[in-house]
Amino acid sequence: MPQVIPAIVGLAGPSPTDEERRLFARLRPAGFILFARNLEEPDQVRALTAELRALAGRDRVPILIDQEGGRVARLAPPRWPAFPPAARFGAAYAAAPATAMAAARANAQAIGTLLTGLGITVNCLPVLDVPQEGAHDVIGDRAFATDPLAVAALGRAVLDGLQAAGVVGVIKHVPGHGRATADSHVELPIVSAPEAALETDLLPFHRLRDAPMAMTAHVLYPAWDAERSASVSPTILSRIVRGRIGFAGLLVSDDIGMQALAQGPDGATLAARARAVVAAGCDLALHCSGDVAEAREVLEALPPMSEETWRRLAAAMAWAQGPARWRTDDPPGSPPTLAELLDRRDRLLAEVGLA
């Protein structure tokens, strides 16, 4: 039997290359992640996701995407609908919380409906980071609000909307990226806040600790670990993420190709980074570049998935197929269309002057 490796990897283009097919047949990744370079038009995407399922040998393989809305949208106009950034719903929440939550839920269900129709099973959403004054704008309007209770409420609405569409949601970036004054894509952010202040950052993650999946932050928090960023810190992942937050689901690292990890003690090579995030407590290492040589380095560096990771992965994928926490008034067997969901969202936002 081919080994299944605890990693999620990207691809170079709109269909797997022969070299990628050979690699994934020998060392099957736990899942895949898609970017704009992989997405041309609906039939092509459906053919791609069908082939990825065949390569994985599983119907419910995690096929991830970052379809947040706003400036983070791998499926973008004019081919695909535009979705607003999270901050739009935060502004609505300040005026009318219940209306904003309903709008965020409809928006997420619309995103999920789009993804389901393309064979994409996991969306890296909601962003639960709580931005602070003076922080880098890498998060910016990707965050809902500066009030952690509003972030938690809107994050829950997004999870519910994704689940109603049959898509797995991913809370990110645990334990919180909102205070970072640097972009972890290019350098290691250091959050020097004392432990007591960081409780604000943890609150949304604690409220949504029953989420099926979470993504870590490549951020250094000296109050918890003075040497290693969260993604490679056994202390933070065990004591804070699994312990204080209480998250028990599938834990995925942020992209190990980001330069924040290159600056840590385990950052010399992608192989070392992959081993470091898994050794620290991440269930899966995420590698996004689509470079097949890099993907090979990552996959060859890791042992087969553990039984515990298999259990968490199966539970995460089953979450989207189970009964949704939140029920719509739509008649059974007649789910709303994408157009209907977009109209519902826009009508709700218009109620608070934010259409």
pLDDT for 325? 56
pLDDT for 178? 95
Distance CA(191)–CA(180), nearest Å, equals 6
Radius of gyration of the chain, Cα coordinates, nearest whole angstrom: 19
* Fold category of 3-351 in CATH: TIM Barrel (3.20.20)
Count the Cβ atoms, other than its own, within 10 Å of residue 215: 25
Smallest CA-to-CA distance from 124 within 3, 21, 196, 35 is with 35
Per-residue pLDDT of the chain (355 residues; tens, 9 = 90+): 468 999 999 999 999 999 999 999 999 999 999 999 999 999 999 999 999 999 999 999 999 999 999 999 999 999 999 999 999 999 999 999 999 999 999 999 999 999 999 999 999 999 999 999 888 999 999 999 999 999 999 999 999 999 999 999 999 999 999 999 898 999 999 999 999 999 999 999 999 999 999 999 999 999 999 999 999 999 999 999 999 999 999 999 999 999 999 887 777 899 999 999 999 999 999 999 999 999 999 999 999 999 999 999 999 999 998 766 555 556 666 789 999 999 999 999 999 998 7
Q: Which residues are catalytic?
A: 185, 254
Count the Cβ atoms, other than its own, within 10 Å of residue 150: 20
Whose tokens are 């202040």? That residue is 197
Instruction: Report yes or no: 39 and 89 within 8 Å, Cβ to Cβ.
Output: no
